[in-house]
Amino acid sequence: MNLIAWREEFTIGLPDVDHEHRELIAMINALHESLGPDADAAQIVEALGEIHARIAAHFALEEREMRQLKYDSIAEHKDDHERLLDDILDIIDTVESPAAYDPEALGERLSRWFSDHFRTHDLRLHRWLAGRH
Amino acid sequence: MTLSPRQWLRAFFGALEALCSRAFTPAWNPLLQLGSIGWFFFWIVAVSGIYLYVFFDTGITRAYDTIETLTHAQPWAGGVMRSLHRYASDGLVAIALTHLLREFALDQMRGKRWFAWITGLPLLVLIYVSGITGYWLVWDVMAQYVAVVTGELLDVLPLFGEPISRNFVNESSLSSRFFTLMSFIHIAAPLLLLLFMWIHIHRHTAARIQPARGLSLLVLGSLLALSIAVPAVSQARADLDMVPATVGLDWFYLPVYPLVQQWGGATAWQLLGGMLLLLGLMPWLPPKSAPPVAKVSLLNCNGCGRCVADCPFGALSLEPRSDWQNYAVEAVVNADRCLSCGLCVGACPTATPFRSASMFTAGIELPQLPLASLREQLKKSCAALSGDDRLVVFACEPAGDLSGELRRNSAVAQMPCIGMLPPSCIDFVFSRRLADGVVIAGCTANGCYQRFGQCWTEERIAGQRDPWLRARVPRERIALSWAVDLRAFRSGLAALPPLRLSGRDTGKPGLLLAGPRWPMPVRAVGMALLLGVLAGVTAVFATEPAWRQLEPQEAVMRLSIRHATATKIECKPLTPRQMADLKPNMRRPVDCPRERWPVYVELERGGELLYRGTHPPSGLWNDGAATVFRTFRVPAGPQSIVVRMRDSGRESGFDQVRSGTIDLEPGQNFVIEFRSGKGFIWEDMS
């Protein structure tokens, strides 16, 4: 079962950004599939590293578009991006130390991580974009 | 080991730069902002020039008078403005030439960096044109000297129908309109200069055109002090009937002029042209090798534009997507501008060493130094470290070769510019426990070889520029080093205490070396000394040493002829038959071939031949006037002269002859002219 299912309300109205959202969800779901009691920690770290890079690039693109559109809450949104990126690195750090590693909790954390940002900052951007037209 | 002249020069600039960084601090180091000081001087000259122009009147006597009045009636305003105008223009020349030398020494004009170099050359020419026409306007003896020698210089070129030197043989031949022309050129040339200055910096993103504010104030203060201490004044009023034996020259602007007199205009042009040509060719002279340019990986590029924002040379742009991916744009490298500095790599969000080994390619990379191999190298060299004071040193290549021994338990990773380092690499070192501290070393504080390496690195660590360094990376375990030289860096590194978590994180990386500086009182003395020396040099060379163009007992004799001789073949009427043979539009009653006879002239002084020459008529059809303009230095005192001219088709003998005895005063400008119908004329001495 997918960890995160794509929902229409995730669409924010910028084609590039929406495309990347779908890709990222797919990546996280793929990682979740591979998580299990016998999962290889090194592989998970690598997969998380890739996710981190993709999300960093995704945020960079989203920030560029927000700047171009002169989005009013760009500073808050950007701060949340940085917080999220640091979070993934924290997750990577925990996976690397076997004592703290728990696949269940990791899946939970990833899912919450993504959905929270969607529900708050991206939703606000979506509404702001809709309000402009 | 022998050093090439360029390496000597580079070592010299390096030492001077280190000295200035200690005295001025790197932020105020004038050698690191020569270009922007040039701009600053330009604006001082422009503002003071506008003030002077309000009071300036064109005209043979008015020009000198208005400037004298301005200088002496309002020394506190006009006088200071005039001095600022002069000294800042001298400063502009000095700065421009130093700038040129420094860029040459650092080899920053080679290959793809040709643009700023080439567009700098017209700047030099325009600075000289502006300065020389400016001196002309004062119309003192130096202006007269400039006018006469410029005339000689320009008359070598086949530009003018008749020698423009003839304008300056005596007061009656000089029109006040000439001053209008000069002041027009003196305004037009600086405007063109400004245009070229703008073009000059065109390929530098965010070019610095303002020096650090404190430095600007220091420079302006020194100029003001100089203007008050040694006000710029005019020399004696120009008098075209006399040739001043000695003239105070501004050696910043006029070093070529004595050469024109010594070697002649043609040699001077060859020298100047040769120099400009050599300078112009320099970017393409061997050895020229360029590393491969940055390469975009489309699979890893979503067109976020961070690399475009960080490129110091405008080599990147966002263009419509060329692949199947669902993005609008992609980064594109302009290979003609890319200098392979790698600052784009440091900006790329996908350039993080946390990625999987199999997929690790950033959106933009330098082919000669892929991040994946940098990471492997780093891991390998860190594995050899031990203890609790392990250090990773990230350094740029211009900082010097660090492959030799470094005191500490350290691993070194070097790259073309420190701005190439993705901040996540610092994070990676700590996350993977590769080392206990990170030292980031750049070439020179405030003088990055790739312009923004230091600046971007500091801003990325501080979270002011993307990509940010992760907030939780302990800044107390990072030390920055913007050393003035390799030795300073080595000793700074040797003295660095272990970078450990102290629990008192200030959120800022430690500064290992911001470039060592002297304590404030020493610095103040250093700055005062340096600026004082520069001001003194400017004041001295603005008029000294005086140039002696005539010995005390010499005078000048000029032969000035403009003469339209008779046509070679006389006009003859055409017969009706001959006319009928011509095409209808060519029919004419009289046939007049237009070619004229040349002028052959001889000048004798005291029985000795001084000059003899044949001068063809001017014009494409040899139908214009022949001109002769020659200058001779002769002893003063009484002497006999004979001048003869043949201006017809005769084989021998002369059509015009005049002889006489004259008595020349020392320094007199004695002119022998020829006028049709009057023959040879000169000032009667009896």
Section B296-310 average pLDDT: 95
Q: Do A58 and B302 touch (CB under 8 A)?
A: yes
Which residues on chain A are in Cβ contact (under 8 Å) with B427?
89
- Which string of b and e fits B177-208 if b means at least 16 CB within 10 Å? ebbeebbebbeebbeebbebbeebbebbbebe
Could you tell me the pLDDT band of residue B401, with boundaries at 50, 70 and 90? confident
Could you tell me the pLDDT band of residue A99, with boundaries at 50, 70 and 90? low
Give pTM, 2 decimals: 0.85
Decide which of A96 and B457 is more confident: B457
- Which string of b and e fits A116-126 if b means at least 16 CB within 10 Å? ebbeebbebbb
Decide which of B240 and A1 is more confident: B240
What type of residue is B239? D
Q: Which of B304, B352, B467 lies nearest to residue A61, judging by beta carbons?
A: B304
**B residues 431-450 lying closer than 8 A (beta carbon) to A:** 431-432
CB B446 within 8 A of CB B27: yes
Decide which of B321 and B163 is more confident: B321
Could you tell me the pLDDT band of residue B516, with boundaries at 50, 70 and 90? low
Give residue B381's Cα distance to chain centre. Answer: 46
Residues from A contacting B (CB-CB < 8 Å) are 15-16, 19-20, 45-50, 52-54, 56-61, 63-64, 82-83, 85-86, 89-90, 92-93, 96
Section B388-407 average pLDDT: 84
Could you tell me the pLDDT band of residue B405, with boundaries at 50, 70 and 90? low
Q: Which CATH number fits domain B5-284: 1.20.810.10, 1.10.10.10, 3.40.50.720, 1.10.3720.10?
A: 1.20.810.10
Q: Is the pLDDT of residue B508 over 70?
A: yes
Q: Which of A15, A64, A82 lies nearest to residue B304, judging by beta carbons?
A: A64
A26-61 per-position pLDDT tens digit: 888 888 787 766 777 788 888 889 989 999 999 999
* Geometric angle at alpha carbon B610, from B607 and B616, rounded to 5°: 130
**B residues 363-392 lying closer than 8 A (beta carbon) to A:** 363
Q: Do B352 and A53 touch (CB under 8 A)?
A: yes
Could you tell me the pLDDT band of residue B499, with boundaries at 50, 70 and 90? confident
A71-92 per-position pLDDT tens digit: 988 999 999 999 889 888 888 8
Chosen for mutation from B298, B307, B355, B371 (greatest number of chain A CBs closer than 10 Å) is: B355
Q: Which of B363, B463, B468 lies nearest to residue A57, judging by beta carbons?
A: B363
**B residues 332-351 lying closer than 8 A (beta carbon) to A:** 349-350
The C-alpha of A83 sits at a distance from chain B's nearest C-alpha, in angstroms, of 8
Q: What is the pLDDT of residue B308?
A: 96
**B residues 464-523 lying closer than 8 A (beta carbon) to A:** 466-468, 470-472
The C-alpha of A1 sits at a distance from chain B's nearest C-alpha, in angstroms, of 25
Q: Is the pLDDT of residue B427 over 70?
A: yes
C-alpha distances (whole Å) from B195 to each of A31, B88, B202, B522 are 58, 19, 11, 41
Q: Which of A16, A58, A86 lies nearest to residue B326, judging by beta carbons?
A: A16
The size of the A-B interface in CB pairs under 8 A is 80
DSSP B11-68: HHHHHHHHHHHHHH-GGG-GGGGHHHHHHHHHHHHHHHHHHHHHH---STTHHHHHHH
Which residues on chain B are in Cβ contact (under 8 Å) with A89?
354, 427, 431, 470
Chosen for mutation from B299, B302, B460 (greatest number of chain A CBs closer than 10 Å) is: B302
Q: Is the pLDDT of residue B370 over 90?
A: yes
Residue of chain A with shortest Cα separation from B466:
A60
Q: Do A48 and B350 touch (CB under 8 A)?
A: no
Could you tell me the pLDDT band of residue B96, with boundaries at 50, 70 and 90? very high
Section A12-19 average pLDDT: 82
Which residues on chain B are in Cβ contact (under 8 Å) with A54?
350
Section B236-242 average pLDDT: 88
The C-alpha of A40 sits at a distance from chain B's nearest C-alpha, in angstroms, of 14
CB B84 within 8 A of CB B108: no
Q: What is the pLDDT of residue B513?
A: 63
β-sheet bridge partners, residue B222: none
Q: Is the pLDDT of residue B132 over 80?
A: yes
Decide which of B44 and A4 is more confident: B44
Could you tell me the pLDDT band of residue B39, with boundaries at 50, 70 and 90? very high
Task: Classify the complex by whether its ipTM is higher than 0.85, answering yes or no.
Answer: yes
Q: What is the pLDDT of residue B35?
A: 94
Which residues on chain A are in Cβ contact (under 8 Å) with B468?
82
Chosen for mutation from B317, B466, B469, B472 (greatest number of chain A CBs closer than 10 Å) is: B466
Section B214-232 average pLDDT: 94
Q: Is the pLDDT of residue B685 over 70?
A: no
Q: Is the pLDDT of residue B319 over 70?
A: yes
Q: Which of A46, A50, A86 lies nearest to residue B470, judging by beta carbons?
A: A86
The C-alpha of A50 sits at a distance from chain B's nearest C-alpha, in angstroms, of 5
Q: What is the pLDDT of residue B515?
A: 59
The C-alpha of A131 sits at a distance from chain B's nearest C-alpha, in angstroms, of 23
The C-alpha of B98 sits at a distance from chain A's nearest C-alpha, in angstroms, of 41
Q: Is the pLDDT of residue A14 over 90?
A: no
- Least confident span in B2-6, B155-159, B265-269, B329-333: B2-6
The Cα B177–Cα B352 span in angstroms is 70
Section B230-253 average pLDDT: 91
Q: What is the pLDDT of residue B445?
A: 75
Q: Which of B304, B306, B355 lies nearest to residue A53, judging by beta carbons?
A: B355
In which element (H, E) is residue B380 found? helix B371-383
The C-alpha of B326 sits at a distance from chain A's nearest C-alpha, in angstroms, of 6
Q: Do A53 and B327 touch (CB under 8 A)?
A: no
Which residues on chain A are in Cβ contact (under 8 Å) with B326?
15-16, 19
CB B26 within 8 A of CB B445: yes
Q: Is the pLDDT of residue B241 over 90?
A: no
CB B166 within 8 A of CB B560: yes
Which residues on chain A are in Cβ contact (under 8 Å) with B428?
none
Q: Do A60 and B472 touch (CB under 8 A)?
A: no
Which residues on chain A are in Cβ contact (under 8 Å) with B358?
46
Closest CA to B445 of B102, B36, B26, B13: B26
Chosen for mutation from A27, A59, A64, A91 (greatest number of chain B CBs closer than 10 Å) is: A64
User: Reduced to 3 states, what is the DSSP secondary structure of residue B312?
Assistant: coil
Q: Is the pLDDT of residue B503 over 70?
A: no
- Helices B114-138 + B177-200 axis angle, to 10: 160
Q: Is the pLDDT of residue B411 over 70?
A: yes
Q: What is the pLDDT of residue B350?
A: 95
Q: What is the pLDDT of residue A101?
A: 64
Q: What is the pLDDT of residue A37?
A: 66
- Helices B141-155 + B114-138 axis angle, to 10: 130
Decide which of B492 and B378 is more confident: B378
Q: What is the pLDDT of residue B111?
A: 83
Could you tell me the pLDDT band of residue B232, with boundaries at 50, 70 and 90? very high
In which element (H, E) is residue B539 found? helix B520-541
The C-alpha of A94 sits at a distance from chain B's nearest C-alpha, in angstroms, of 10
DSSP chain A: --SS---GGG--S-HHHHHHHHHHHHHHHHHHHH-STT--HHHHHHHHHHHHHHHHHHHHHHHHHHHHHT-TTHHHHHHHHHHHHHHHHHHHHHHHSGGG--HHHHHHHHHHHHHHHIIIIIHHHHHHHHHH-
Q: What is the pLDDT of residue B259?
A: 92
Q: What is the pLDDT of residue B686?
A: 54
Q: What is the pLDDT of residue B196?
A: 96
Q: Is the pLDDT of residue B98 over 90?
A: yes
From the number of C-beta atoms within 10 Å of its C-beta (0-12, 13-18, 19+), residue B355 rates as buried
Q: Is the pLDDT of residue B201 over 70?
A: yes
Which residues on chain A are in Cβ contact (under 8 Å) with B356?
46-47, 49-50
Fold that domain B550-681 belongs to in CATH = Immunoglobulin-like (2.60.40)
Section B420-444 average pLDDT: 92
DSSP B571-630: -EEPPHHHHHHS-GGG--SEE----B--EEEEEEETTEEEEEEEE---STTS-S-EEEEE
Q: Do A50 and B304 touch (CB under 8 A)?
A: no
Q: What is the pLDDT of residue B285?
A: 84
Closest CA to B219 of B86, B23, B447, B41: B41
Q: What is the pLDDT of residue B158?
A: 79
Section B113-132 average pLDDT: 94
- Which top CATH class is A15-32+39-132? mainly alpha
Q: What is the pLDDT of residue B380?
A: 93
CB B239 within 8 A of CB B548: no
Structure tokens at B416: 């073309």
Share of chain B above pLDDT 70, in %: 97
Q: Is the pLDDT of residue B257 over 70?
A: yes
B455-478 per-position pLDDT tens digit: 999 999 998 999 999 988 888 889
Q: What is the pLDDT of residue B357?
A: 80
Structure tokens at B19: 């000295």
Could you tell me the pLDDT band of residue B252, with boundaries at 50, 70 and 90? very high
- Which string of b and e fits A14-48 if b means at least 16 CB within 10 Å? bebbbbbbeebbebbbebbeebeeebeeeebbbbb
Q: Do B300 and A19 touch (CB under 8 A)?
A: no
Structure tokens at A26: 């797919």
Chosen for mutation from A18, A31, A46, A94 (greatest number of chain B CBs closer than 10 Å) is: A46
Average pLDDT of the residues of chain B: 89
Q: Which of B326, B356, B472 lies nearest to residue A50, judging by beta carbons?
A: B356
Q: What is the pLDDT of residue A56?
A: 94
Decide which of B557 and B173 is more confident: B557
Residue of chain A with shortest Cα separation from B309:
A64
Chosen for mutation from B306, B307, B308, B354 (greatest number of chain A CBs closer than 10 Å) is: B354
Per-domain residue ranges for chain B?
A: 5-284, 354-513, 550-681
